[in-house]
Amino acid sequence: MLKAERARFVADELERRYPETPIPLDHRDPYTLLVAVLLSAQCTDLRVNQVTPELFALADTPEAMAEVPVEKIQEVIRPCGLSPQKSKAIAGLSKILVEQHGGEVPQSFEELEALPGVGHKTASVVMSQAFGFPAFPVDTHIHRLAQRWGLSSGKNVVQTERDLKRLFPEDSWNRLHLQIIFYGREHCTARGCDGTVCGICRALYPERKKPKKTRRA
The predicted model gives 6-17 an average pLDDT of 98
Output the CA torsion sign for 200, 205, 206, 211.
negative
**Confidence band, pLDDT 50/70/90 cuts, at residue 173:** very high
pLDDT single digits (tens) 178-216: 999 999 999 999 999 999 999 999 999 999 999 998 887
Architecture of domain 3-20+136-204: Orthogonal Bundle (1.10)
The values of phi and psi at residue 90, to 5°, are -65, -45
Is the pLDDT confidence value at 172 over 80? Answer: yes
Superfamily of domain 30-129 in CATH is Hypothetical protein; domain 2 (1.10.340.30)
* Residue 103: DSSP 8-state: T
91-100 own/partner pairs: CB under 8 Å, 24+ apart: 91/65, 91/66, 92/116, 92/117, 93/34, 93/38, 93/62, 93/117, 93/118, 94/59, 94/62, 94/63, 94/65, 94/66, 95/62, 95/66, 97/31, 97/62, 98/62, 98/63, 98/66
In the chain, domain spans:
3-20+136-204, 30-129
The predicted model gives 19-33 an average pLDDT of 96
Q: Verify whether residue 95 is a known catalytic residue.
A: no
| Whole-number Å distance between alpha carbons of 110 and 93 | 14
Q: What is the pLDDT of residue 155?
A: 85
pTM passes above 0.95:
no
pLDDT single digits (tens) 81-129: 999 999 999 999 999 999 999 999 999 999 999 999 999 999 999 999 9
Higher pLDDT: 37 or 155? It is 37
Catalytic position from the list 72, 95, 121, 165: 121
Catalytic position from the list 139, 165, 194, 210: 139
Q: Verify whether residue 60 is a known catalytic residue.
A: no
* Residue 130: DSSP 8-state: T
